[in-house]
């Protein structure tokens, strides 16, 4: 499956033209350094870390286009949905995802306190009543569908968060597929 995602990511990157070829090492990723260096296109079989690095690079290449409130809100709903995909969110997991959010190069377009607040609101709703929280999160995610670049970036953000721990759980894949449906984006474009 990861090879399929890698192929899809390369296709997307090529469709972005020179914006996707912004070079290796697009900014430090802090504590995420073990996840990959952000170098896309390695021919060594496409490890998960390389794939996540490729998604980060693709997101960074369109960073200047991702400044709307719809993208911010949809991304935080996506992050919460991925974090709670298995029906629970441990305090350590919540903190880890918050750290990933505030250290993400693209999400630094927004004040960290806004991101934390929106993420935690969604997580709280998902923990209190998963089905209702999921429904509300998907409604917020769907608002990004008006701009295809933002819609794809929301899914890529979710993929980066889901893959940050090196494991892409079936429940996380399912959450991403549901978000794709809400955004009108084909899940197969992301290999899920």
Compute the CA torsion angle 160, 165, 166, 167 (nearest 10 deg): -90
Q: What is the pLDDT of residues 60-84, one digit of tens each?
A: 666 667 778 898 999 999 999 999 9
- Predicted model pTM: 0.71
Q: What is the pLDDT of residues 89-132, one digit of tens each?
A: 888 889 999 998 988 888 888 999 999 999 999 999 999 999 99
Is 128:134 a contact under the CB 8 Å cutoff?
no
Amino acid 105: pLDDT: 83
Q: What is the pLDDT of residues 22-70, one digit of tens each?
A: 333 333 333 333 333 333 333 333 556 665 666 666 666 666 677 788 9
Amino acid 38: pLDDT: 34
Distance CA 61, CA 51 (A): 15
Fill in the DSSP letter of residue 168: -
């Amino acid at each position: 499956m990861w090879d399929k995602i890698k192929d899809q990511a390369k296709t997307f990157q090529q469709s972005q033209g020179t914006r996707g070829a912004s070079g290796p090492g697009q900014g430090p990723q802090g504590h995420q350094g073990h996840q990959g260096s952000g170098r896309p296109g390695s021919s060594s079989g496409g490890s998960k870390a390389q794939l996540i690095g490729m998604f980060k690079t693709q997101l960074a290449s369109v960073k200047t286009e991702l400044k709307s409130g719809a993208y911010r809100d949809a991304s935080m709903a996506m992050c919460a949905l991925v974090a709670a995909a298995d029906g629970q969110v441990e305090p350590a997991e919540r903190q880890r995802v918050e750290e990933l959010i505030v250290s993400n190069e693209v999400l630094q377009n927004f004040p960290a306190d806004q991101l934390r607040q929106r993420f935690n609101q969604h997580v709280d709703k998902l923990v209190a009543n998963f089905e209702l929280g999921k429904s509300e999160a998907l409604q917020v995610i769907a608002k990004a569908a008006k701009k295809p670049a933002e819609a794809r970036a929301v899914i890529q953000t979710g993929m980066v968060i889901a893959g940050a721990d090196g494991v892409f759980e079936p429940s996380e894949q399912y959450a991403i597929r549901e978000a794709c449906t809400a955004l009108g984006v084909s899940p197969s474009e992301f290999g899920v």
